[in-house]
Structure 1
Amino acid sequence: MMKTPITVLQELMVKFSESPEYECVAQSGPQHLAVFEYRCAARGHVVSATARSKKEAKQEVARLMLARLAAAGLSVPPPYAAPAAAAPLACDEPSAGAVGTGSRSYKALLKELCQEYNLPGPEYTLEGDTGPAHARRFTARCAVGAHARIASATTKKAAQQLAAQQLYQYLRENLARLTEDFVEEDALARAHERAMERYVEARADAPHRPDLGQCVADYHLGLLLHLEEEQVSLGADALEAASPDAEPETALQAVAGALGLRVEWHSLPAEGGALTLVRLAPSSPPLVFCARTRDAAAAEALTYLRLTMKFKGQK
């Protein structure tokens, strides 16, 4: 019967009067689909692996450590001397590979570590790609200042994660006394919060999308369909507050601002002189009014808004 990776690694380390160190560093996913991440340290090397149970994760990380030691020149008995590929998991978590990403983003951890201790930010470069189209392997380089690590994987993203993990673990091990107050879970939480903030900002800056489900018969209600009650109330108040003697363009700016709309001006060449176009955005369908002068175009827009507010109040 073939010996397990844990047994082979233990016997190999006995020759050096050492023992491999195992640690369960993370657990993710619901209880019925839990994924465990184990880390193993031996002879100055550190690798990680994930699996659906602690026992499987420990065996997998021992197998990866044997492959790492074999690559470093130690005499490892077959079949564990060959580079190992981690078994895929039936979940969304990526496989660990030779230095797995596990259940966490080491790119995020490395970035947080650099920010917290005033290190230059990590830089990633694609060093190359090899193999046929159906079995491509990408090699990525991760560098922080003068320190760098290179890793390969079947995707660019995975290769960057693996390189980031190697560099992150190297920095943590060699700067342990200086970074002992760095808490990984807190760092990941901060990274997640910042990512969500960027997502919200991106959504806020995203262009208005037309309502593809809107019927042509409802086009005249286009503005009403995406205005909140509070906006309509503010717009109606702005219309009432507008002085009859005020310039239409000034009044339009005030009412549009209350409704949360932008006033955009355009010029359209035409016979007898250019036409002035004023657009209220965002709206679906687009609201565009045309006249010979800016004041006349603004007056047309104000008339539409006044009728719209009146119709809304009657509903």
Structure 2
Amino acid sequence: MMKTPITVLQELMVKFSESPEYECVAQSGPQHLAVFEYRCAARGHVVSATARSKKEAKQEAARLMLARLAAAGLNVPAPYTAPCAPCPPVAGDGDAVAAGGGARSYKALLKELCQEYKLPGPEYTLEGDTGPAHARRFTARGAVGAHQRVASATTKKAAQQLAAQQLYQYLRENLARLTEDFVEEEALARAHERAMERYVEARADAPHRPDLAQRVADYHLEEEKVNLGADALEAASPDAEPETALQAVAGALGLRAEWHSLPAEGGSLTLVRLAPSSPPLVFCARTREAAAAEALAYLRLTMKFRDQK
């Protein structure tokens, strides 16, 4: 098995006769939707990460610290050398997770508010995008009836969340007397439960269950590339070598497959990383063929869910 970020960081710090320091600094949200924040300090650097469990938050903090140390010039082993952003907590769908990984989803809250007070449902439109592929900014418009707000961010979902936040706060302030009994935590819990129900239904006929440590993020893929990737998946022959098929699909998506080998008990492990992506998508197996097959299965499932959105 591949070593966890905590183990890798501990082994790295032993070389300096030091140990990393971890601290759970915050907990937010209701008990059934708690979000934990862990802080990690090592070699004069401090990072923090959030997740739905203390264990995941601690692992994420260790992973961020490894990326920070690698950027500072330390010899960090692959695949923890690439800079990466903190991963948001996993939920049933994108609307049930707050923009930026926090405990609030303003899209979910706005939808709940509109349903409870018989307002028109929120609508979102993409107004445009600017900048190069590696630094794209998206502008989204959110509307509830005649009320509209426009916001920009580095992803489509984040822009929609910001527009929803502005609309939600405006409605709460201007309908204060009507909405004073609207409980945000209960609304988020209802949205989360419905999202999980849809998630379970969508996964019912999926034979492959990806590693839950691999979190789905917005990879800034243009619609044209997504269609090309889906076409490449359909065109791949069932008898084709997984590695050859993976190269074709990754190329269509504008990604590249990077291969690494790690020593392990009883032999070695093969890792394939699809880049550029944030967080990194890494798949591990005993052979290149098996690692490529895992990556293909993940891409096939991701394409399927994108089509259903």
* Same topology, TM > 0.5: no
TM range (shorter): 0.3 to 0.5
Q: Tell me the TM-score normalised to structure 1 length.
A: 0.37
Q: Tell me the TM-score normalised to structure 2 length.
A: 0.37
Q: Which has the higher contact order (CA 8 A, sep 6+)?
A: 2
